[in-house]
Amino acid sequence: MRLVRLADAAAPPLVALLATIVAFALFLLAAGADPLRAYGLIYLGAFGTWFSWQNTLVRAAPLLLTALGMALPAQIGLIVIGAEGGFVAGGVAAIAAGLPLAALGLPAVIVLTGMALAGMATGAALVAACGALRHWRGVNETISSLLIAYIAIAVCDQLVEGAMRDPASLNKPSTRPLPEALMLGTIPGTNVHLGLVLGLIFCVLAYVFVFHTTWGFAARVVGANARAGRLVGLPVGRLILIVTALAGAATGLAGMVEVAAVQGAASADLAVGYGYTGILVAFLARQNPLAVIPVAVLMGGLEASGGLLEQRLQLPDATITVLRGLLFIMLLASETLQGRLRLKLRARAPRPAPEPVRRAQAGGA
Amino acid sequence: MASGSGFSRRAVLGGLGLGAAGLAAGSLAAPAARAAGKTIVGFIYVGTANDYGYNQAHAEGAAAVRKMPGVTVLEQARVPETVAVQNTMDGMINLDGASILFPTSFGYFDPFVLRLAKSKPKAQFLHAGGLWKEGEPLNAHSYFGFISQAVYTAGIVAGHMSKSKKLGFIAAKPIPQVLRNINAFTLGAQSVDSSITTTVVFTGDWFLPVREAEAANSLADQGADVLTCHVDSPKVVMETADKRGIFCTGYHTNQAVLAPKAYLTGAEWNWTGLYPRLVGDLIAGKTLPNMIRGGFREGFVRNSAYNAIVPEAARKQADGVRAQFMAGNFAVFKGPLKDNKGNTVLGAGTTLDEFDLVLEQMNYLVAGVIGSTS
Amino acid sequence: MSGIGWWGVPVAVLAGAIRVSTPFLFVSLGELVTEKSGRVNLGLEGTLVMGAMSGFAIAWLTGSPWLGVLAAALVGALLGVLHAAICSLPRVNPIAVGIAMMLFGTGLAFYLGKPFIEPKAPELPALDLGFWSANPAIRSALKVNALFFIGVALAPALVWMLRNSGIGLVLRMVGDSEDAARAMGYSPRLVRLAATGFGGALAGIGGSFLSLYYPGSWNEGLSSGQGITAVALVIFARWNPMGCLWASLLFGGAGALGPALQAIGVTGFYHLFNALPYIVTLLIMIVSCSPDRTLAGAPGELSITR
């Protein structure tokens, strides 16, 4: 039964993938490029070699966490698109905590833990604020999360170019760098940083939280129907706070990893769109924390292969964005096939009531 | 990320990757260039290559390299200053066999170029920005032009053309290279009339067209009648000056076609002159210095041709100063010089040579500039 | 010619309110019509960018800026209809489709727009309302683009249309209760298709203003989130077209404040000044929303307010 259900869930995305491949091939033909060669290059750039794999995984690492920033609130029926803000603020908070800890001469494990906690707390506060505004003031969380992200990024830019600026960072205003020895290392034998492992762990933990804990179950009940949740006595406000805080913590941790493993310091370059790509990943994963993993890898692969299309086929740099957009639209449209492609075996199972599910996806709380 | 033993291991893995890439690429229409023993040069831009600005100046240099025999040029645009640039360069080396790389954005250098240079000792990295320090990898080079010299001569022309004695400068961020240009522009204009002031508006980032237009309009509202800028794409500022019926001087590359009436002259990079020289030297097996810097004299910068309306007196003074720069006996920054808070920043008799590293740390705006560095 | 000192700030805010507000006005009015039918289109950011690119391209190719505006409207309508068509499939989430359309529209515009970054297209005409003043700052501030007037006229026209016309009635009925509309023999699907197409057309026009008038060229940094912010303005405006007008003016003026203050020498904290429009919007939303009642004017079928 489990296999059947899995096949049932996987069928629409596969249809969408095929449709995207055909549509993008037509698009390439219109652009005068050879689709087969383009797909060959995408494969080569994303997964064709060990180098490509590492490139792909490095790009996927932040997406694992930023996608959770969207996928977790979706369980409780909230559409939060402010992961970018949590990412940037998390990164700045992490370095703000890490520098004094490093100055005390503490070992790397403690410094990095402190940084992670600071980043997570800051991200959690930002996203939980959207949840709180939603619950207690009725402010739409999609819009407020975006506005809060814009504001948080402006505040962080002001900090890294003002109060927190390292006077030695002359032409690229940044905070003081974390000492090289304290930085988050790589997975042995690769040049993929340990942020990937953290991301994987968090995705699994998020999955367990959502599908195998009472809190997760309660959140999904509220997400399916908030009124029903209230009627059975669930603490809706507290649930919203917990779930949005966890989501924010994931985005803040992603920012901490970017600082501690990649950039070494915080600067305006933290805001380069990992948060927004995370939204895409979460939707493609149908808000399932475990499905976020393969989708993030796929997305990282597409990004990694963009350069080859540009260099070898002379296609514009936006080609991969078009492909991502097409894939996204097709996958969403394929949701409508859900249940219609069901195998005969499945027909015996009781049909779930579609109405509350639809509402949950539409973002009603 | 960078641990001692990691490097060699990465280098080995990189080599494996290269082999695998060769195999895979063989089945996937390998670039003909590699088989033919050509030199492959990769250019990476932070924005679009035809932005009438920073990236276009580099792309014009890349186009000049493309014309060289035995050279294949790879280009990738809109690569952010993140690990993406490291991966892009790594990809050019691993999958395309590039041996010379031009990561052209300032923020690419630390840590991304440095990290990759350590793990790819055979590739040569030529970074635009002038950032290399003693102890950093020897296959990493950083070049930069003293464009403030060309900004100074543009400031002379602006000083001659301004009737209101107020100039406007739209800048991205208060960093040394930008402050140096604001100061050079003001000093050039003040060499014509010491009462001239320059008002600065910082937009906060390198490419914000709507805000740059707002800044240009606000400056025009305040009576500024010559505008210039230090942002990635000066297009909007030039066009706004043209619409407002005031003058402008360009930056990065030639924007005269965008504002035929308003464009007086401009400070341009001369990468078309420099890049083929650098690539030619590397192909010939020469070792390049790690810091490569120069101004008018070394052919790194130039001015756009004057607009027909620029009077003879202005041309004569600007040409004269340029000739002195070429001869190496003119300095933009010389004492006595005060900042706009009244502090003396250079004592009488002090002259700063363009190569002086003190200039790379500029953190003040000279007297006559309205604006602050924070 | 001399500056106008402190007076420059109110003049710049006024000028900014007029110059910068137009795209917000068109996108928010378009989104308002779409939302009145009970559908949210978050993809208008992509539509705006596509409108900017296609409007510029057509204006340059044909030499007529108005043909450019028309093309932008058509492209916008097309994207809107596509959004509506996908959303009308059962079980498809309109918010997600909006985000996808945002990505797709932006990507497509960047892809197709490469050849149009360099050329210069003819500009939309403007009316010189400041002819009476000798001051160039005031003259410039009152040089008002024709599209601004169209937008300003559109707001009361939409108020009237929604309140009094048959089309407005049907639109509101579909937005408030699908079942009621169906009972009356109207197809919610078709009405929404039309409303989303109309909203897309307006957003496309808003985009063409960016590339054909202010700042007046096509490039990839043209939109810094104006499309998505305009969607926020609709909630802020309580689904009232006149509210969209005021909100857009406020937003444009707030955006002009930062550069204007620096131009008179008030420096520092420019990042925060630049974020002012977002701070203002958020604060007003916090103050004006309430958890206990649905927002006045909110269409009943609208998922974003539930």
Q: What is the ipTM of this complex?
A: 0.87
Within-domain flag for A307: no
A:B CB pairs within 8 Å: 133
- C53 near A CB under 8 A: no
Tell me: pLDDT of A178 over 70.
yes
| Rounded CA separation B177/A357 (Å) | 56
pLDDT of residue C137: 77
- Number of domain units in chain A: 1
- Number of domain units in chain B: 2
Q: Which residues of A touch B29 (CB under 8 A)?
A: 37, 40, 312
Q: Which residues of C touch A139 (CB under 8 A)?
A: 285-286, 289
Q: Which of A172, A272, A307 minimises the CB distance to B106? A: A172
- Of B104, B127, B145, which marks where a domain is finished? B145
A:C CB pairs within 8 Å: 146
Q: Which residues of C touch A154 (CB under 8 A)?
A: 271-272, 274-275, 278
Domain match, B244 and B97 both: no
- Of B114, B145, B176, which marks where a domain is finished? B145
Each of the 306 residues of chain C gets a pLDDT tens digit; together they read 344 567 767 887 888 888 889 999 999 999 999 999 999 898 999 999 999 999 999 999 999 999 999 999 999 999 999 999 999 998 888 888 998 899 899 999 999 998 998 888 898 988 888 888 877 778 777 888 999 999 999 999 999 999 999 999 999 999 988 888 898 889 999 999 999 999 999 999 999 999 999 888 899 888 878 888 888 888 878 899 999 999 999 888 888 888 888 888 777 788 888 888 889 888 888 887 776 655 666 777 776 544
pLDDT tens-place string over residues C111-164: 999 899 888 889 898 888 888 887 777 877 788 899 999 999 999 999 999 999
How do B197-202 and B369-370 pair as beta strands?
parallel
Within-domain flag for B187: yes
Give the pLDDT band of residue A361 (cuts 50, 70, 90): very low
Of all residues in chain B, what percent carry a pLDDT higher than 70?
A: 90
| Rounded CA separation A288/A203 (Å) | 9
Domain match, B193 and B337 both: yes
* Residue of chain B whose Cα is closest to the Cα of A172: B107
Nearest to B300 by CA among B355, B358, B223, B343: B355
The residue-averaged pLDDT of B75-95 equals 91
| Rounded CA separation B217/B229 (Å) | 13
Shortest alpha-carbon distance between residue C302 and chain B (Å): 32
| Rounded CA separation B170/B172 (Å) | 7
Q: Are A49 and B6 in contact (CB < 8 Å)?
A: no
Q: Are A55 and B87 in contact (CB < 8 Å)?
A: yes
- Of B145, B168, B203, which marks where a domain is finished? B145
DSSP-derived secondary structure for C177-202: -HHHHHHTT--HHHHHHHHHHHHHHH
Give the pLDDT band of residue A353 (cuts 50, 70, 90): very low
Within-domain flag for B205: yes
pLDDT of residue C236: 78
Q: Are C110 and A316 in contact (CB < 8 Å)?
A: yes
Q: Are B42 and B92 in contact (CB under 8 A)?
A: yes
pLDDT of residue A341: 58
Give the pLDDT band of residue B11 (cuts 50, 70, 90): very low
Question: Other CB atoms closer than 10 Å to residue C2's CB: what's the count?
Answer: 11
Q: Which residues of A touch C114 (CB under 8 A)?
A: 316, 318
- C160 near A CB under 8 A: no
Domain match, B89 and B231 both: no
Shortest alpha-carbon distance between residue C73 and chain A (Å): 21
| Rounded CA separation A38/A25 (Å) | 9
Q: Are A171 and B177 in contact (CB < 8 Å)?
A: yes
Q: Which of C96, C228, C275 minimises the CB distance to A332? A: C96
DSSP-derived secondary structure for B262-315: TEEEEEEE-HHHHHHHHHHHHHTTPPPPSEEEE-TTTTSEEEPPPPTTS-HHHH
Q: Are B359 and B346 in contact (CB under 8 A)?
A: no
pLDDT of residue A264: 92
Q: Which residues of A touch B204 (CB under 8 A)?
A: 157
pLDDT of residue B300: 95
- C136 near B CB under 8 A: yes
| Rounded CA separation A174/A169 (Å) | 6
pLDDT of residue C303: 62
pLDDT tens-place string over residues A116-146: 999 999 999 999 999 999 999 888 888 899 8
Q: Are C92 and A336 in contact (CB < 8 Å)?
A: yes
Supply A219's token pair. Answer: 């959140």
Q: Are A155 and C271 in contact (CB < 8 Å)?
A: yes
Q: Which residues of A touch B17 (CB under 8 A)?
A: 49-52, 54
Shortest alpha-carbon distance between residue A229 and chain B (Å): 44
Mean pLDDT is highest, among B2-6, B45-49, C75-79, for C75-79
Q: Which residues contact B214 (CB under 8 A, 6 or more apart)?
A: C12, C16, C19, C20, C255, C256, C258, C259, C260
Domain match, B132 and B164 both: no
Neighbours of chain C (3+ CB pairs under 8 A): A, B
Give the pLDDT band of residue A167 (cuts 50, 70, 90): confident
Tell me: pLDDT of A160 over 80.
yes
Window B:128-147, CB contacts with A under 8 Å: 129, 131
- C120 near B CB under 8 A: yes
Domain match, B200 and B321 both: yes
Q: Which of A135, A143, A150 minimises the CB distance to C235? A: A143
Pseudo-torsion of CA B112, B114, B117, B118, nearest 10°? -120
The residue-averaged pLDDT of B67-92 equals 92
Q: Are C306 and A359 in contact (CB < 8 Å)?
A: yes
pLDDT of residue B362: 93
Q: Which amino acid is at C230?
A: A
Among A262-266, B105-109, C74-78, C232-236, the range scoring the smallest mean pLDDT is C232-236
Shortest alpha-carbon distance between residue B212 and chain C (Å): 9
Q: Are B1 and A186 in contact (CB < 8 Å)?
A: yes
The boundaries of the domain holding residue B308 are: 147-268+302-370
pLDDT of residue A342: 53
Domain match, B122 and B252 both: no
Domain match, B140 and B158 both: no
Within-domain flag for A352: no
Tell me: pLDDT of B358 over 70.
yes
Domain match, B228 and B171 both: yes
Q: Which residue has the higher pLDDT, B212 or A4?
A: B212
Tell me: pLDDT of B23 over 70.
no
- C306 near A CB under 8 A: yes
Within-domain flag for A315: no
pLDDT of residue C139: 79
- C134 near A CB under 8 A: no
Which of B18, B28, B207 would best serve as a mutation to test chain A binding (most A beta carbons within 10 A)?
B28
Q: Which residues of A touch B91 (CB under 8 A)?
A: 45, 51-52, 55, 304, 307-308
Taking all residues of chain B, what is their mean pLDDT, rounded to a whole number? 88
| Rounded CA separation C116/C122 (Å) | 13
* Residue of chain A whose Cα is closest to the Cα of B47: A317
Domain match, B213 and B335 both: yes
Domain match, B195 and B315 both: yes
Q: Are A273 and A84 in contact (CB under 8 A)?
A: yes
The boundaries of the domain holding residue A254 are: 65-292
Q: Are B371 and C8 in contact (CB < 8 Å)?
A: no
* CATH code for position B229: 3.40.50.2300
| Rounded CA separation C205/B210 (Å) | 17
Q: Which residues of A touch B173 (CB under 8 A)?
A: 161, 173
Within-domain flag for A328: no
pLDDT of residue C68: 97
Please report, for residues A68, A74, A141, A142, the alpha-carbon distance to residue A79 in angstroms, rounded to integers and kept in the order given: 12, 6, 7, 5
Q: Which of B3, B119, B175 minimises the CB distance to A173? A: B175
pLDDT of residue B25: 38
Q: Which residues of A touch C44 (CB under 8 A)?
A: none
Q: Which of B1, B76, B78 minimises the CB distance to A185? A: B1
pLDDT of residue C296: 62
Shortest alpha-carbon distance between residue A43 and chain B (Å): 10
Q: Are C219 and B163 in contact (CB < 8 Å)?
A: no
Q: Which of B218, B224, B258 minimises the CB distance to C260? A: B218
Tell me: pLDDT of B131 over 60.
yes
Supply B140's token pair. Answer: 């990493």
Q: Which residues of B touch A58 (CB under 8 A)?
A: 83, 87
Within-domain flag for A233: yes
Within-domain flag for B27: no
Window C:96-115, CB contacts with B under 8 Å: 114
Q: Which of B48, B223, B372 minimises the CB distance to C117? A: B48
pLDDT of residue C13: 83
pLDDT of residue C256: 82
- B94 near A CB under 8 A: yes
Query: Which alpha helices (DSSP H) does chain A contain, by range?
Result: 2-30, 35-43, 50-75, 83-103, 108-132, 141-161, 195-212, 214-224, 226-231, 236-257, 274-284, 292-312, 319-334, 354-361
Domain match, B49 and B179 both: no
Buried b (16+ CB within 10 A) or exposed e, C167-180: ebebbbbbbbbbee
pLDDT tens-place string over residues A286-332: 899 999 999 999 999 998 998 888 888 888 888 998 999 999 899 88
The residue-averaged pLDDT of B9-30 equals 36
- C66 near A CB under 8 A: no
Which of B43, B75, B87 would best serve as a mutation to test chain A binding (most A beta carbons within 10 A)?
B87
* Residue of chain A whose Cα is closest to the Cα of B18: A51
